[in-house]
Structure 1
Amino acid sequence: MYKVLLVDSDSISSMEMLQGMLEWNQIGFELDGYASKPAEAIALLNRNWFSIILIGMNTAHSDALFLCDYIRQKSRVPIILIGGSNDFQLARKALYYQVSDYLPNPVSPEELTSSLQAVKQDLDCDTDKNKALLWTPTDKDACPPVNIIEKVKEYVDDALNQNITLKQISISLHFNCSYLGQKFKYYENMTFNEYLLQQRMEKAKLLLENTDLKIYEIANEIGYTEIDWFYKKFKSYTGVSANEYRKMFSIIA
Structure 2
Amino acid sequence: MWKVMAADDEIYIQEALKNLISWEKMGCVLHSISSNGKELLEKMETEHPDIVITDIRMPLVDGIQVCKYISENSPETQVIILSAYSEFEYARAALRYNACEYVLKLSVLEELPQAVEKAILNLKRYYEEIEEGEKSEEGRNEIENLYEKMQRYISRNYCRKITLDEIAEELHANRSYLSRLYKSKKGVNLFDDILRLRIEKAKEYMETSDKKVYEISQAVGFEDTGYFSRVFKKYTGMSPKEYKNEKKETSDK
Compute the TM-score of the two structures, normalised by the length of structure 2.
0.46
Compute the TM-score of the two structures, normalised by the length of structure 1.
0.46
